[in-house]
Amino acid sequence: MAYVPVAQDTPWQQSDVFDKTKTAVLVIDVLGGEGGATPGLESMADNCVSIVKAARAKGIPVLFSCDAHIPGLDKEIELWGEHGLAGTDAAQPLAAFDVQESDFIIPKRRYDGFFQTDLDLTLRELGVDTLIAVGCDTNICVLQTLAGAYFRGYKTIVPADATATLLVGTQEGGLEYFTRCYDSRVTTTEAVLAKLR
């Protein structure tokens, strides 16, 4: 069962309502194209796919924030080695998402999906003020992207079992950080799917 931290005493976290007409799903670095999910992250990826498919069925926009690093240039490669290189399968959403023409793929070269990308502009043009954020790594790209969302005034919902940690820190610590610092409503995939029905 997914760990869900105690909600903070804020109007957003103490409520369970959201406006579907102003909501989008943001998939952060669930990558691999035809190569499949990173070993050990299959369950997280399956939950992300379920949420994406349910959102599409309700006409909720789906956006993919995907690493697209430039070899020999991007600073992240110095820290982590080659990963998510632009133009490779490793920079594409998992094939299981069955990306549609209605979806948006927003490449990024830093952890934060908002940093010098079209993400904020695209969300605003879609009329979105609430994000259901899923993906990995919980303590790196998800955390930094949630920071970017919070700084720009977006409300966020994070299904804990549709995120995963494999590189830095603990899953529990990351989820607690979201609730405490970014006013994220942390819940479960099951609860999100119930709201999307």
pLDDT value of residue 99? 97
pLDDT value of residue 35? 83
pLDDT value of residue 55? 98
pLDDT value of residue 186? 98
pLDDT value of residue 79? 79
pLDDT tens, residue order, the chain (197 aa): 789 999 999 999 999 988 999 999 999 999 988 888 888 889 999 999 999 999 999 999 999 999 998 888 788 888 787 887 888 888 899 999 999 999 999 999 999 999 999 999 999 999 999 999 999 999 999 999 999 999 999 999 999 999 999 889 999 999 999 999 999 999 999 999 999 98
- Beta bridge partner(s), residue 156: 131
Burial class (CB in 10 A: 0-12, 13-18, 19+), 12: middle
pLDDT value of residue 183? 98
Which residue in the block uniquely carries the two structure tokens 């994000």?
131
Give dist(CA 136, CA 157) in Å, integer: 15
pLDDT value of residue 87? 85
Chain segment 62-84, per-residue pLDDT in tens: 999 999 988 887 888 887 878 87
Burial class (CB in 10 A: 0-12, 13-18, 19+), 150: middle
Reading the block at residue 131, the tokens are 């994000």
Give the chain's largest Cα–Cα span: 46
State whether residue 133 is helix, strand or coil: strand
pLDDT value of residue 73? 79
